Amino acid sequence: MQEYLQGLNDSQREAVLHRDGPIMIVAGAGSGKTKVLTTRIAHLMASGVDAFQILALTFTNKAAAEMKERVTHILGNNEARNLYIGTFHSVFARILRAEADKLGYPRNFTIYDTDDAKSVVRTVVKEMNLDDKHYKANTVYNRISNAKNSLITPDEYINDFGLQQEDMRANRPLIGQIYTAYCNRCFKNGAMDFDDLLLKFYQLLKTHPESLSKYQRKFKYIMIDEYQDTNTSQYEIIKLLGAMYENVAVVGDDAQSIYSFRGATIENILQFQKDYDEVKVVMLEQNYRSSQNILHVANHIIANNKGQIPKKLWTSNIEGEKINLVRTATDNDEGKYVADAIQEQKLRNHYRNSDFAILYRTNAQSRSFEESLRRMNIAYRIYGGISFYQRKEIKDFLSYLRVIVNPGDEEALKRIINYPARGIGKTSVEKAVLYANEHNISMWNVLERAAEFGYRANTLETISNFVVMIKMFQSELQKKNAYDLAILVGKNTGIVKDLFNDKTTEGLARYENLQELLNSIKEYTETPTEDGELLDKSLGSYLQQITLLTDADDDKGESDVVKLMTIHAAKGLEFPVVFVAGLEETLFPNAMAINTREELEEERRLFYVAITRAKNRLWLTYANNRYRFGNLTQNEPSRFIDELPQERLDKSFAGGNMRNNQTNYWNAFDRPKYPGENQKKEAKTEKPAYLVSTPVIKIKEHIPSPDFAPSDTSNLQTGQKIEHQKFGYGEVLKMEGAAHNPIAIVKFEHNGEKKIMLNYAKLRIVE
């Protein structure tokens, strides 16, 4: 048996050894799917399959790089460099570069990110004299994006009665015309947006039989990771590419299908067996990530879904601690509780900040956690904020580089034509756009021929100087690598000087960001492949690489910070300790996603994904009262709490006076009893729950004795009496823990039994 097969369990080995014919690998959370995929690729290559014939598609560049690295490690050679491994968008962009002329695009076409695409939408809406408050760029762009992901062209959109009726009901009847104008503008600019990389590749295969045959023969073995996240266009492309040999291997988990809002459809994986004859199905059900308690809770939750492939994850890991279910008075108390718990776990179990993740349903929930973590001086990072590459100074500089590669890129051109300020005003720019539209040429063509369009002498000279500068940069494209050309741009445009002269705090940050960008370009040009050979280090290659980066690729995992993110952003990640916050009706499940059983089941899958991110410890929290949209609202616990197996939970409440009239909100708990609650109630003078702040566990505060001085506890013994600054007097019941990290179990007179870490606690030995 090959050595690389020895570390696999029976199901994993079965998936790896299957060679020809379609196979669906249903990989439960934490079941080692990446290991199976990479070992399967390595086994194909070890069995004589040419690396050039293998196509592996993922959803992040980070996952693709990890797969290629693992294959290289398994085989012990550099053949993995010949594999086509990458995201759908990066692989298809690579092919489209070579085939662009068949679709009428230049090979150096620009790839518009979401911001660029929305900017084009705004331009089109303005030119059509439509109300931009009604035809909002975000709304229109999402509509166009959904159409493209469903392989609906502008003509098909306009002729689709159902879509037109939807637009009429939304009082946006002209979206079809905007879609048409948007596509025409992108084509004229020599640009594709992210969705075009799928749509145009599909059109290439459908309308050019020679290209379809070429890539069907080229990719004899196809593997798709996270198949449950594929949309209609990705599904149809795979069907076309795999039709000749049908050696299609899909890996995924229907229980983790959570991206319907992006166009992903769970039916792709649920119906895979109907798409091919004699599909082999392998179930990976052994979980290597989570404790038994965490996994039991996850299984219990997802069992409530009807639309799924039946499976039950199991693990040989330890049983682990019970899941902590914590109810708090307010969202601020929820934030404080989580920060306190993180600090306690760091002290007690020597966790690092990076071992913790706080997950929530919506980005707006991060505020209370940020405030509490800052107060306790705990380093954190929010994922899903402004990407480095979306910052203004970065976009400005990259726009120069984009125009050098593709001068037809109107969005980039408009951004830089008067930055730094050179006297080409808004009116002159608008004239250039108008002339370009009237003569059906690019804005760059107008600038090149500015003398023909009646510009005044001083403006004409400025435009001419700008054009000459860009052409000078273009003349260096074939001579200089991306970094050397970027340095030339920085010096000659005045961008670096402009940012350097801004001595404000914000200005300094922008200058540092630009330096970081230049550093990243230098790193790109100097990073060799595994065999020491430099790849294509041209400016065009660099721009494509950064344009196709995803949020997950931005994280290098180097900082010791607590990670805050939405559950959607957390998919594919794992953490020793996880807090899932905001388990309240209308928040989680979200009020916008409970109108149908399908929507509710996706929310439940989202909860399942959140739970299965945790390895060792899991907290679930929710608040009685939460500020939403500026108003304090009372919340009912999430229906998902009722679905939790109660015997696996450790329930508590924190951060407020729970003695109030909201007894109906205890449907997930046994209603707590409070001292004297059966006595005749006094006149109601107490503050509302959300205005009262009490500790998580009620502690009888102790005033240290006047002669309190910490003792040497290195030889502390069972039975000794001690004084604690906060908990008071107690007796040592037991000593445990390692010699370098001793723990004393102490019974305090007024505060019960507690575990005290002697390396951190200050105790006075009384006797």
DSSP, collapsed to helix, strand or coil, labels residue 162 as helix
469 or 625, which is more confident: 469
Which of 67-71, 214-218, 258-262 has the highest average model confidence (pLDDT)? Answer: 214-218
DSSP 25-55: EEE-TTS-HHHHHHHHHHHHHHTT--GGGEE
Other beta carbons within 10 angstroms of residue 310's beta carbon come to: 7
Over residues 9-35, mean pLDDT: 94
H or E element: which one contains 403?
helix 392-405
Q: Where would I find the beta strands (DSSP E) of 501-613?
A: 562-566, 575-580
Strand partners, 284: 27
DSSP, collapsed to helix, strand or coil, labels residue 674 as coil
The 10s digit of each residue's pLDDT in 660-676 is: 333 333 333 333 333 33
The 10s digit of each residue's pLDDT in 274-311 is: 888 889 999 999 999 999 999 999 999 999 999 888 88
Structure tokens, 69: 């690295």
Closest among 236, 240, 138, 141 to 194, alpha carbons compared:
141
Over residues 396-422, mean pLDDT: 94
Strand partners, 286: 314
Evaluate whether 167 touches 173 at the Cβ level (below 8 Å): yes
pLDDT of residue 703: 74
Task: Mean pLDDT check: name the lowest of 64-73, 105-114, 544-553, 563-572.
Answer: 544-553
pLDDT of residue 603: 96
* % of the chain beyond a pLDDT of 70: 89
Structure tokens, 134: 């009604």
Q: Identity (one letter) of the amino acid at 506? A: E
The 10s digit of each residue's pLDDT in 743-766 is: 888 898 887 888 787 876 788 898
Q: What is the rounded radius of gyration, in angstroms, for the C-alpha atoms of the chain?
A: 30
Evaluate whether 381 touches 564 at the Cβ level (below 8 Å): yes
The 10s digit of each residue's pLDDT in 466-498 is: 999 999 999 999 899 899 999 999 999 999 888
Structure tokens, 298: 């996850």
Rounded-to-integer distance, Cα 299 and Cα 313, Å = 7
What is the band of 678 on the pLDDT scale with cuts at 50, 70, 90? very low
709 or 123, which is more confident: 123
Q: Which residues are catalytic?
A: 33-34, 225-226, 256, 613
Q: Where would I find the beta strands (DSSP E) of 542-686?
A: 562-566, 575-580, 614-628, 631-634, 649-654
The 10s digit of each residue's pLDDT in 40-85 is: 999 999 999 999 999 999 988 888 888 888 898 888 887 888 889 9
Would you say residue 531 has pLDDT above 50? Answer: no
Residue 404 has phi, psi (to 5 degrees) of -60, -40
Structure tokens, 697: 């566990």
Evaluate whether 56 touches 283 at the Cβ level (below 8 Å): no
Q: Identity (one letter) of the amino acid at 263? A: G
Handedness of CA 755, 760, 761, 763 (dihedral sign): positive
CA-based diameter of the chain, in Å? 99
pLDDT of residue 555: 54
Would you say residue 395 has pLDDT above 70? Answer: yes
Q: Identity (one letter) of the amino acid at 625? A: N
List, in order, residues 6 or more apart from 196 with CB less than 8 Å away: 148, 186
Rounded-to-integer distance, Cα 199 and Cα 210, Å = 18
What is the band of 7 on the pLDDT scale with cuts at 50, 70, 90? confident
Count of residues in the chain: 767
How many Cα atoms within 13 Å fall on the side-chain side of residue 365?
A: 29
Over residues 253-268, mean pLDDT: 87
Evaluate whether 621 touches 342 at the Cβ level (below 8 Å): no
Over residues 516-538, mean pLDDT: 67
Evaluate whether 485 touches 476 at the Cβ level (below 8 Å): yes
The 10s digit of each residue's pLDDT in 158-197 is: 999 999 999 999 999 999 999 999 999 999 999 999 999 9
What is the band of 684 on the pLDDT scale with cuts at 50, 70, 90? very low
What is the band of 741 on the pLDDT scale with cuts at 50, 70, 90? low
Query: What's the mean pLDDT when you consider all of the chain?
Result: 86
421 or 677, which is more confident: 421
What is the band of 441 on the pLDDT scale with cuts at 50, 70, 90? very high
Residue 329 has phi, psi (to 5 degrees) of -75, -45
pLDDT of residue 388: 72
10 or 362, which is more confident: 10
